[in-house]
Structures are given as structure tokens and as C-alpha cells.
Structure 1
Amino acid sequence: MTTNAPTPVWHYRTRKQTLLGWLGWFSLVALTVFCWQLMNENTIWAFVSDAPEQAADIGGRMFPPAWSYIDQLWEPLWDTINIATLGTLIGVAVAVPVAFLAANNTTPSRRFVRPLALLLIVTSRSINSLIWALLLVAVIGPGLLAGVIAIGLRSIGFIAKLLYEAIEEIDFNQVEAVRATGASGAQVIDYAIVPQILPAFWGISVFRWDINIRESTILGLVGAGGLGIQLSASLATLAWNQVAMIFVVILGTVIVSEWVSARVRQAVI
């Protein structure tokens, strides 16, 4: 006697998994709607509906850019480049030892030193350079020094995090080989670790300098020097054609910094 048993049908997910998936999507949609209502609770929609007209009006006032104004931008531009460069150098100088202290395979103490190094990295990365600049302007006063230190403090966490990850990914057989020769700790770092992370170090440093060029252009908005001071003054006087000229200079600077950083990375990596 033969029985015609039903052919089992394969499903990608079980019924429980499917229900949980739909429940997750429903929760996500509900959360999105709630956040949208919360964000727009105090929105004046009359201003929003008028925004395209206002944007077109401001855009019309920006053109043509005030090309004669560029003569007043060379010195602030030079200040901006100096802020980015010096801040990057400060960040690199502090980040390198911090990275060695944070890496699992080079830290002198995983219980005490490594958590402190990681805390420093997280603190640096959690606070934006503009906020650092606000704090430093209040402490040491407005000027280029506040901008340089703000960029440096922000760069520490970025460089140290990527660098300590590169240190943890090295080939440890080379370390053991150098250590077997009786080399000291400093010699092991110099001959076994540094050569392996040097390309990553240069790539990270140049990439951070490229980012700092962008960030340093706005620090002047809070009094930390650079092109941001000119931008703030032009915005305050509604000189939109000057604002357009500043945007052109910033765009050109960013393009040049991108080209320089790309060429340097190609040369060292």
C-alpha cells in the first residue's frame, strides 16, 4: 500500500522568524514616525514652504562672486593651512605613543594602561573640533593657537585608533624573531613593529591632514582663526558675493589637498 505524503516545502525563514522580522519592521516604522513628529513639533511650515524662494534669492545675490575680494583671503587661507598642518603634527606626536599603549600586543598593562589610552582616544573622537575650538577660545582667547590645539586634540583619537589597530594586525613572527636575537624592547619596536606599520602611519597621517584642511576652514566662525573669520564677517554683513568667493577658495583648497594627499599616499603605500 502506497501513501501520497505531501512534499515538504522549503522556506527561507521559519514562521517565528518571519513574524519577528515583520515585528521589527513595524517597530522601525513606528519609531521613524515618532522621531519625525518629535523633530517637527516646533517647525514653522510657512518658513519651509518659503525656503525655495529664499534660497533662490540668496543664490542670485551670490553671483557673480566678488573676485576682487580674493586679495583679502590669501592671509586667512595661509592661516587655515597652518592650523591644519600644525594641528596634525601635534595630533601625530601625541597619537603615536597613545597607539602603542592602546594596542593589545604592545601595551605595558592591559588592566590599567590600555583602558586609560582607550579612554583618551574615545574622548578625543567624541568631541568635534568646533566644540574643542569653542572651549579653547573661552580658555586661552581667540586666535590661531586655539585653532591649532583644537585640531590637534581632535586628531589624536582618529590617528591613534587607526594606528593601534594597525599595530594589532602586524605579523608577530617578525617580533618573535627579533626578540630571539636578544634585542631590547625599544629595538623590537624599531626593527620589528615600526617597519610593518610605517605605510599605514603615513597614510593615516596624510588622510587626517586632508580632513583637517576642511575642518580648519570653519573654526574661525568661533574665533579660532582662518578663513572662518572672513566667512563670519561676510555673513554678518550679508555680503553674499563675498561668501561665494570664500566658498570658491575653500573648494579650491580642498581639491588641492585631496590631490596632494592622494599623491603622498601613492608614494608611501
Structure 2
Amino acid sequence: MPVISKGELKVWQRRDRAKQLKIWAMWFVGVAIFMFCWKIISDATTWFFVFDAPRIAADIGGRAWPPRWEYLSELWKPMWDTINIATLGTLLAIIMGVPVAFLAANNTTPSRKFLRPFALLIIVSTRSINSLVWALLLVSIIGPGIFAGTLAIAIRSIGFVAKLLYEAIEEIDTTQVEAIQATGASKLQVIAYGIVPQIMPAFAGLSVFRWDINIRESTILGLVGAGGIGLYLQSSLNILAWPQVTVILIMILIAVLISEWVSSKVRLAII
């Protein structure tokens, strides 16, 4: 029987054998799953390269320093393109995600049997595929460039915007909606005056937050030909120009830090 201390008082409790067996069984299953997964990873890993990784990393680090600062003059335009990809992609996602959110919310959807499942399918499907995969597909369809990157960011962000927004719609204060309905207002008027004012803080916050995320994601879309600074990163990696890679990574880090600062300031102002 275990002893449970409560201050100075010790309380004796009898062990529940069934409960203890369940706990041990859960631990056993968890450890077995972990060992099985580790065996698969281990068999597919070339451990020689893993053990040699510190030496390779030190060698690349030595070649990458000092950075080639004069390369900065060639990076301003692709960095601007990257910011535009993130901004326009976020804007398109908001335009497409807001209607999906109203269709997915239980209290605003016109049809719970047909339209709501369809809206939820859009949310899940757009969120389940990474923006890099979307960019790869779109580059194959419409060709390389900024437009493909913008669409990739937009499609990836629809599910994020719609999911958080429809959850905010479902959590509104229904008394305000009922008060507006009592005046004989139409459905559009109820949405405009009873729902939208309540979800505007959440809508503004998630929009800025998604823009911040998209700044990070758009920096690597150029790796698959979707434009932006990632395209220059890929070309520098291909020719092993490590000092240029260092400059690009520093620039990406600064851009992400600035976007994080802007995002936090806007969210604080909203809250």
C-alpha cells in the first residue's frame, strides 16, 4: 500500500490491482511502439554519416565564414518578392477562408448535412498538405515564379484561417444575435451586426499571426522554383557558395525577427 503525504499527515491507500495492471500495460505498449519505430529508423539510417556529421558541420561552418556581404545588393529584390508572396498569399487566404468558416460553423451554416461537411473537407485538405508541396504542384501546373508561390501560400493558409475563425463564430454570445433577430433583421443583417463585431478581434489576430507564419514559409518556396529569396538560396547551395548562403540565412533571420516584432505589436494593439 503506497503512502501519500498531505503536509504532516500520511494517508495510506490500498493499491487497485486492475488500475496498476492497466498502467503497466500502457507503459509496455508505449515502449514497444517506441522500440519498433526506432528499429525502422535505425535500419534506414547510415550511421557512419551520422557519426561523421560533426566534422562535416565544422568544415561547412569554416567555409561559410566570413559571409560575403557584397552579395546583399542582389538580395533586396528577392526578399521583397518573398514579403509580397506572404502578404498577398495571406490576403487571398482570408478572402477564401472567411466564407468557408461561415459554412463550417454550426450556428451559421445553411446546411449541416451537405455544406458543413464540404467546408470541413476544404479546411482539412488545405491544412494537411505543406506549402512546399503545394508550391511543387503549382510550379508543375502553372510554371515557376512568384504567382505559384503566392497561390501555394494562399491554399495552405485557407484551412488555418477558416478553422480558427469558425471556432470563434461558434463561441459567440448568442444573446446579441437573438436580440438582433428579435428586431426582424435578415440573416445577412444578423451576421453583419450580431456576429461580425464579436469575431473581429479574433479575425484580426489570426490574420496577423498567419501572415507572420507565411513570412517564414515563403522564404523556402524558392527551393522548388516558386520565387523569392529561396531561389537564391537554392542556387547558392548548388554551387557550394557557402559565404553567400550565410548572408542569405542572416537576411532570412532578420526578416523573420522583424515580422515577429510587427505581429506581436499588432496583436497587442488588438487585444
Q: TM-score, with normalisation over the residues of structure 2?
A: 0.95
Find the counterpart in structure 2 of residue 4 from structure 1: none
In the alignment, structure 1 residue 50 sits paired with structure 2 residue 59: no
| C-alpha RMSD over aligned residues | 1.0
Paired positions, count: 261
Find the counterpart in structure 1 of residue 25 from structure 2: 23
In the alignment, structure 1 residue 10 sits paired with structure 2 residue 40: no
Q: Which amino acid aligns with 2:31?
A: V
Q: Which amino acid aligns with 2:125?
A: T
Find the counterpart in structure 1 of residue 3 from structure 2: none
Find the counterpart in structure 1 of residue 106 from structure 2: 104
Task: Could you tell me which runs of 5 or more consecutive residues in structure 2 were left unpaired when the two chains were aligned.
Answer: 1-10
Higher mean alpha-carbon deviation, 171-180 vs 61-70, is at 61-70
Question: What is the CA-CA distance between 1:63 and the residue it aligns to?
Answer: 1.1
Q: How does 1:59-78 map to 2 (within 5 A)?
A: 59-78=61-80
Find the counterpart in structure 2 of residue 127 from structure 1: 129
Higher mean alpha-carbon deviation, 40-49 vs 120-129, is at 40-49
Q: Which amino acid aligns with 1:166?
A: A
Find the counterpart in structure 2 of residue 157 from structure 1: 159
- Between the aligned partners of 2:209 and 2:81, the Cα distance in structure 1 is 20
In the alignment, structure 1 residue 221 sits paired with structure 2 residue 223: yes
- Between the aligned partners of 2:49 and 2:194, the Cα distance in structure 1 is 62
- Between the aligned partners of 1:119 and 1:45, the Cα distance in structure 2 is 41
Q: Which amino acid aligns with 1:10?
A: Q
In the alignment, structure 1 residue 79 sits paired with structure 2 residue 74: no
Question: What is the CA-CA distance between 1:23 and the residue it aligns to?
Answer: 1.2
| Alignment equivalent of 2:240, drawn from 238, 241, 245 | 238
- Between the aligned partners of 1:121 and 1:145, the Cα distance in structure 2 is 22
Find the counterpart in structure 2 of residue 3 from structure 1: none
Q: Which amino acid aligns with 2:13?
A: W
SS of aligned partner of 1:40: helix
Q: Give 4+ residue runs of structure 1 displaced > 2 Å after superposition.
A: none
Could you tell me the percent identity over the aligned residues? Answer: 65
Q: TM-score, with normalisation over the residues of structure 1?
A: 0.95
Q: Which amino acid aligns with 2:201?
A: P
Question: What is the CA-CA distance between 1:42 and the residue it aligns to?
Answer: 2.9
Deviations 1:79-136 (A, max 9, x none): 0000000000000000001000000000001111100000000000001100000000
